[in-house]
Amino acid sequence: SQELEQSPQSLIVQEGKNLTINCTSSKTLYGLYWYKQKYGEGLIFLMMLQKGGEEKSHEKITAKLDEKKQQSSLHITASQPSHAGIYLCGALSGSARQLTFGSGTQLTVLP
């Protein structure tokens, strides 16, 4: 089965700083999803990457999938307190539509 490892597990940054979260897969990724979760709430879809080398941006958040399609990174520029939460990467399991998730990265942004 596919396993996703996220790093770091937790991150505390000062407002305005840049940060990067990584997600490494044990197998080739056919679709890599990034979600954000706030405490007590559901998951909010951020981006999905499929092609090796693909990069997508939404506001100040950029996600990349490496050429070998086994690692993805999520980069936040000029972080704000509103970026705080748990970031989860998820991967499609082969041809099925099941998602396997990483353990998450808890982000705290200090004002």
Partner 1 sequence: DAGVIQSPRHEVTEMGQEVTLRCKPISGHNSLFWYRQTMMRGLELLIYFNNNVPIDDSGMPEDRFSAKMPNASFSTLKIQPSEPRDSAVYFCASTYRGAETQYFGPGTRLLVL
* Nearest distance in Å: CB 47, partner 1: 9
Residue closer to partner 1 (CB basis): 12 or 44: 44
Smallest separation, CB 42 to partner 1 (Å):
4
Q: Per CB under 8 A, which of residues 84..103 are in contact with partner 1? A: 88, 96-103
> What part of residues 38-77 is at the interface with partner 1 (CB under 8 A)?
40-45, 48
Of the candidates 37, 36, 46, 29, the one whose C-alpha atom is nearest the C-alpha of residue 100 is 29
Asked if residue 53 lies in contact with residue 67, where contact means CB atoms within 8 angstroms, the answer is: yes
Residue 44: its H or E element: strand 43-49
d(CA 1, CA 37): 24
Q: Which residues bind partner 1 (CB under 8 A)?
A: 33, 35, 40-45, 48, 88, 96-104
